[in-house]
Amino acid sequence: MSDLVITRTQGPVGIIQFNRPEQLNALNATVAQAVIAAAQAFDSNPSIGCIVLTGSPKAFAAGADISEMAGMNAAEIARLDYFAEWQQFVDVKTPKIAAVNGYALGGGCEVMMMCDFAIAGENAKFGQPEIKLGVIAGIGGTQRMTRLIGRSRSMEMHLTGRMMGAQEALQAGLIARVVADDDVVTDAIKTATTIAGYSRPALRMVRETVMRAEELSLQDGLLHERRVFHALFGSEDQTEGMAAFLEKRKPAFTAR
Ligand code: HXC
DSSP calls for 137-181: --SSIIIIIHHHH-HHHHHHHHHH---EEHHHHHHHTSSSEEE-G
- Whether the complex's predicted ipTM surpasses the cut of 0.95: yes
Going by alpha carbons, the residue nearest to atom 18 of ligand 1 is 23
Bridge-based pairing state of the strands 50-54 and 13-18: parallel
Expressed in angstroms and rounded, the spacing between residue 24 Cα and the centre of ligand 1 is 7
Expressed in angstroms and rounded, the spacing between residue 171 Cα and the centre of ligand 1 is 26
CB 197 within 8 A of CB 253: yes
Give the chain's length.
Answer: 256
* pLDDT interval class at 1 (50, 70, 90): low
Closest by CA position to 13, among listed 86, 92, 94: 94
> Residue ranges per domain, the chain?
5-196, 199-247
Question: Does the pLDDT of residue 169 top 90, yes or no?
Answer: yes
Give the integer Cα–Cα distance in Å for 76 and 72.
6
* pLDDT interval class at 184 (50, 70, 90): very high
* 11 secondary structure, DSSP code: T
Dmax of the chain from CA atoms? Answer: 65
214-246 pLDDT tens trace: 999 999 999 999 999 999 999 999 999 999 999
Give the integer Cα–Cα distance in Å for 175 and 117.
6
User: Which residues are known to be catalytic?
Assistant: 64, 107, 110, 130
- Fold classified for 199-247: Lyase 2-enoyl-coa Hydratase; Chain  A, domain 2 (1.10.12)
**Top CATH class, 5-196:** alpha beta
Expressed in angstroms and rounded, the spacing between residue 27 Cα and the centre of ligand 1 is 10
Give the integer Cα–Cα distance in Å for 118 and 53.
9
